[in-house]
Amino acid sequence: MKELIKVKIGESVFSLAKGTPLSELIPQLKLGDKLLLFKSGQELLDLSFPADHDRELKPVTASDPEALEILWHSASHLLAQAVLELFPGVQAGVGPATETGFYYDFLRDQAFTPEDLVAIETRMGEIAAEDLPIRRLILKKEEAIRIFEERGQKLKVELIQEKGGAEVTCYEQGDFIDFCLGPHLPSTGYIKYVKLLSVSGAYWKGDERGPQLQRIYGTAFFSQKELNDYLNFLEEARKRDHRRLGQELELFHTSEDLGAGLVIWQPKGAIIRYLIENFWKEEHLKDGYDFIYSPHIAKLDLWKKSGHTEFYEAMYPPLELEGCQYQLKPMNCPFHIIAYKSRQRSYRELPLRWAELGTVYRYERSGVLHGLLRVRGFTQDDAHIFCREDQLEDEIKGVIRLAIRLLRAFGFENYQIYLATRPDKYVGSLADWEKAEKALEEALKSSSLTYQIDQGEGVFYGPKIDIKIRDAIGRLWQCTTVQLDFNLSERFDLTYVGEDGNFHRPFMVHRALLGSMERFFGVLIEHYMGNFPLWLAPVQMIILPIADRHEAYAREILSGLRAEGLRVKVDDSREKIGKKIRQAEIEKIPLMAIVGDKEMHGNSLSLRIHGQGDQGEMKIDTLLPRLKQLIQDKSLEIKL
């Protein structure tokens, strides 16, 4: 007689013979096809999972947050099945769920075309309509290898040989089988609303020396409305793509002549950077920071002492100069530490707050480079605080206040805060970690900020606070990071003389508020879709003379406004006024001043606001103070 397993669901207890699939519980739960899988603690179990020991289970339906990831994983198998049916001889790689959908990698001599994607998506719909059961199989390793060898799937054989134990888990739907841990949906019939999005290149196992595969991306949802909403979101994101807008608005430029991941800020982008950096510096001076400038390279031995050569992989190869090895800096921290150690410090000097807009270089893989958001050379808005233990909480609170003040000035009012705690592998004493985590948490609590604990996600040298901003279409972007560091203080033997006359170890705080100039600028472009607020706009006003005889008056206005600090230009082309207005709208210039006979005689201008249209005739003496006030207040909207 088989052993009976007790399964508790809510207040009810059910009995199943050991080894019986959990799907046997479906009739008793009366959830019908709403039941997708079960959750046991933090573990997700599909309906084909066998009852193995007494458990408490929670039914998972489409409305539960875990369901979408399982749908995406199952959709990746559906994609692979369709591809292998339509294109015999193709090798299947791996196909996980992602943050927004799924992908599957394939080894194929010919490139997949847009027409291929249409055919694949159509076949996926047909297989979904067949409502094939998705079954979990436990196979002997040798049997699994034989099955995939017979199918000519050499990449799968390689994975099983590397990762499989004595027994391996596979999933089967119709004639398709995949090596996978699962879990999955009950059948293909749940995968109805699918869209394939794009194809890109990918290396097998992420190794650039390995075969290059083709990665097909897609997404899926439990309803057509959800899918339509997501596709509309993607279209909105496409319109905001900083790479396209950066080129159209002449903000920045990348080139193969420069090298991948390296950026030139063009004049319009450079003036925005200048404004951001000036504002950043002014706000830091208000908060008692001092500035540091450091070189772009240092002796390799410095990076060995800091631990970067041991722990940090994205470093450029060293340079050999006069028999000495030098390293392009990936971080600014060691330079600030050298400045700290330039003489003995006293407890009376602390805290020291040292900030630097420091350019660093990191050799990111070419496959992850993405416009301004992931580059190889970038400028961090970096700072380090050296303080005593009794000052730590107040310093963290000060950093958070400054971060929120900066982010709000750029229009980011909505954000999420995370406290990342001690990981499994860490340096420093447990007591130091507990003090540091408590200081971070107390700083958040006393600032009345809502936050989430990100368990075990601190860096090895200390816990951290992360602030992620939400942009105009709801996307989260990582910007502010505040990290405590026990590692570098120890490695460089940092000390200060305490009130008791003894040497003490200072706490060291790393912090970046905007993240990097490049990435933050990319986020700003997408957030505003290139329609920058007046205080940040590279050209704040363009003067549009109606005819040649009005150009002298236009230039008179230009000189007067520039003398008052406004960024103004004149369109002196021979185009008609309608075309001049259209061009100014395309360039997303906030203000357009049209001048003709009436305006010239009345010492006025006719004002248009980008996206709002005609505002009527205004005297220059009336308009100027209003504009200066909007700029001074860093107003996000133009209301005159």
Residue 340's Cβ-side half-sphere holds a number of Cα atoms within 13 Å equal to 31
Q: What is the pLDDT of residues 416-444, one digit of tens each?
A: 999 999 888 777 778 888 888 888 888 89
Mean pLDDT of 65-70: 92
Average pLDDT, integer, range 602-613: 94
In the prediction, which pLDDT does 614 show? 92
How many Cα atoms occupy the beta-carbon half-sphere of 438 within 13 Å?
8
Q: Are 356 and 382 in contact (CB under 8 A)?
A: yes
Q: What is the mean pLDDT of residues 43-53?
A: 84
Residue type present at position 494: L
Section 291-315 average pLDDT? 89
pLDDT class of 51 with cuts at 50, 70, 90: confident
Superfamily assignment of 4-61 in CATH? Beta-grasp domain (3.10.20.30)
| pLDDT per position as a tens digit, 224-272 | 999 999 999 999 999 999 999 999 999 999 998 999 999 999 999 999 9
Average pLDDT over residues 389-413: 93
**Which pLDDT belongs to residue 342?**
96
Half-sphere exposure of 205 (CA within 13 A, CB side): 10
C-beta pairs of 599-605 under 8 Å, 24+ apart in sequence: 599/550, 599/553, 600/550, 600/553, 605/543, 605/557
Residues 6 or more apart in contact with residue 516 via CB below 8 angstroms: 378, 379, 380, 381
**Owner of token pair 């879709």:** 529
CATH superfamily, domain 270-294+332-523, is Bira Bifunctional Protein; Domain 2 (3.30.930.10)
CATH code for the part of the protein at 68-239? 3.30.980.10
Cα separations in angstroms, 356 against 218, 235, 285, 512: 42, 38, 12, 10
Residue 508's pLDDT band (boundaries 50, 70, 90)?
Answer: very high
Percent pLDDT > 70 in the chain is 100
Mean pLDDT of the 14-27 span: 80
Averaged pLDDT score across all residues of the chain? 92
Collapsing DSSP to helix, strand or coil, 11 comes out as: coil
Global pTM reads: 0.86
Domain(s) labelled CATH 3.40.50.800 in the chain stretch across 541-632
pLDDT at residue 433, rounded to an integer: 83
The mean per-residue pLDDT over the stretch 132-154 comes to: 94
Residue 465's alpha-carbon distances to 278, 457, 470, 479, 524, in angstroms, are: 25, 10, 16, 11, 22
Which of 470, 468, 472, 605 shows the shortest CA–CA distance to 532?
472
Confidence of residue 190 (pLDDT cuts 50, 70, 90): very high
Share of the chain above pLDDT 90, in %: 73
Query: What pLDDT is stored for residue 328 in this prediction?
Result: 94
Q: What stretch of H or E contains 204? A: none
Handedness of CA 320, 322, 325, 327 (dihedral sign): negative
Rounded to the nearest 10°, the torsion over CA 357, 361, 366, 372 is 10
CATH 3.30.980.10 boundaries in the chain? 68-239
The pLDDT score that the predictor gives to residue 111 is 95
- Burial pattern 258-294, b for ≥16 Cβ within 10 A else e, equals eeebebebbebbebbbebbeebbeeebeeeebeebeb
Catalytic residue ranges: 333, 362, 380, 382, 384, 464, 510
Side chain identity, residue 575: E
SS3 455: coil
Which residue spans of the chain are classified as CATH 3.10.20.30? 4-61
Angle between helices 154-163 and 141-150 (to 10 degrees): 170
Residue 369 is predicted with a pLDDT of 85
State the pLDDT at residue 12: 81
Among 607, 560, 600, 601, which Cα is nearest to 584's?
A: 607
- Given a cut of 90, whether residue 312 has pLDDT beyond it is no
Range(s) within the chain of domains with CATH label 3.30.930.10: 270-294+332-523
DSSP run (H or E) holding 451 = none
| pLDDT score, position 1 | 57
Please give the Cα distance from 624 to 620 (Å, whole number): 6
Superfamily of domain 541-632: Anticodon-binding domain (3.40.50.800)
Average pLDDT over residues 140-165: 94
Nearest to 54 by CA among 39, 40, 36, 70: 40
In this prediction, residue 593 carries a pLDDT of: 96
